[in-house]
Structure 1
Amino acid sequence: MEELKYPIGKFQYNGAATAAERRERIELIREMPFELGNAIAGLTDAQLDTPYREGGWTVRQVVHHLTDASLIFYSRTKHALTEECPRFMGYNDDEWLKLADTKSPVDSALMLLEGLHVRWVAILEAMSPADFERKYIHFARGEEAIDYLLAYSAWHGRHHTAHILALRKRMGW
């Protein structure tokens, strides 16, 4: 069950990144919408509405969750760059996935994700090393740097895309 839940392993943060690690993470964020699009390419509505594991979200919900999360991560990046140590509230992703927009076609989520990631990457690539050290307050984890958000965001996209790819492999899709 652990492998189904964490196909690429649990997130680990090892502190401030090197310039090379940041470039790699930014590249993962740039590629994520396309990797996700490839992961769901050719799936039927019935397949999109299949949970990636027992008790887990459906593929459709995963796609919409990734779009929601990217919107939040992008917004947090902008706030942390333009405000002194802003505080961020959490959101209940399970409740968000019950809202009507998550029943919409995944193409709409992918279009939003692609445009959003272009803008987010433009900001990330323009940031100085000091910008990555800027802090914010996460409602549950406390003070964090943008470096943490970058690392988590890069992992998060790969983590959920791996859920879909693992399901496709298990189901022979």
Structure 2
Amino acid sequence: MDQASLQYPIGKFNESAPKQGAEISGWIQQIEMLPEKLKQAVEGLNDAQLDTPYRPGGWTLRQVVHHIGDSHLNSYIRFKWTLTEDEPIIKAYNEKAWAELFDSEEGPIELTLNFIEALHKKWVYLLRGLKEDELNKFFVHPDNNNKVTLKLAIGMYAWHGNHHLAHISNLTTSKGWK
């Protein structure tokens, strides 16, 4: 596999994709199913396997799991800000620095797997209750001043979970661990 395929195994997120009701429901379902799929993807892996990077120069599988928890927590908070404030400018964070903290490099993945499961249950409950006018609300990303609607953000985070799940699955398959 070439470097681009290793980095983006399911391709990059298509921001111009249509965002209709059925598609949004499908994305929400993907967010709902991620915790179980993630648990299955890392089930039975030992510490040496979890500490293997998914690509040269990439994060370890352990860091990927912790990153998903960190990223999706930030997303959940962004949704809440967007629903309770007028066009909020969100707080960006340094994903690379967070992934290099000791809790991401060494921490037990069970803590984050349990966290992701609880977070996604709460997040999906929120997402399924959103009305069309709420789905069209947006936040502003401070790095590029892009306005991101909640309906687009749902798709981005469905993609995000699948993107990192593919990192894990591709490595475990290529190494013959699963």
TM-score normalized with structure 1 length:
0.97
Q: Which amino acid aligns with 1:114?
A: E
Please name the residue that 1:106 is paired with.
109
Q: Once superposed, which parts of structure 1, at least 4 consecutive aligned residues long, lie more than 2 Å away?
A: none
Q: Which moved more, 1:1-10 or 1:57-66?
A: 1-10
Q: Contact 1:87–1:136 at 8 Å: present in 2 too? A: yes
> Quick one: distance in 2 between partners of 1:165 and 1:126?
32
Aligned residue for 2:148, secondary structure, equals strand
Does structure 1 residue 140 correspond to structure 2 residue 113?
A: no
Q: CA deviation at 1:85?
A: 0.5
User: 1:149 maps to what in 2?
Assistant: 153
Number of residue pairs aligned between Structure 1 and Structure 2: 173
Match of 1:59 among 58, 61, 78: 61
Q: Is the 8 A contact 1:64 1:109 kept in 2?
A: yes
Q: Give aligned-pair identity as a percent.
A: 40
Distance in 2 between residues matched to 1:15 and 1:137, nearest whole Å: 20
Which protein has greater RCO, CA pairs closer than 8 Å, 6+ apart? Answer: 1
Equivalent pair of 1:26/1:150 in contact (CA under 8 Å): yes
Could you say what secondary structure the match of 1:88 adopts? Answer: coil
TM-superposed deviation, 1:135: 1.3
Q: Which residue is 2:176 aligned to?
A: 172
Give the drift of 1:100: 2.5
Unaligned runs of 5+ in 2: none
TM-score, normalising length: structure 2: 0.94
Per-residue deviation, residues 74-118 of structure 1 (Å, max 9, x unmatched): 000111011110101211111111222212100000000000000
| Alpha-carbon shift at residue 140 of structure 1 (Å) | 2.2
1:94 to 93, 96, 100: 96
Distance 1:171 1:100 in 2: 26
Structure 2 residue aligned with 1:3: 5
- Residue 162 (structure 1) aligned to one of 163, 166, 170: 166
- Listed one character per residue, the Cα deviations across residues 103-152 of structure 1 (whole Å, up to 9, x for unaligned) are 21000000000000000000000000111100111112321111121110
CA distance in 2, matches of 1:126, 1:21: 16
Q: Report what 1:85 is aligned to.
A: 87
Indicate the larger mover: 37-46 or 132-141: 132-141
Q: Is contact 1:7-1:163 (8 Å) kept?
A: yes
Post-superposition offset of 1:15: 5.2
Which amino acid in the other structure matches residue 168 of structure 1?
T
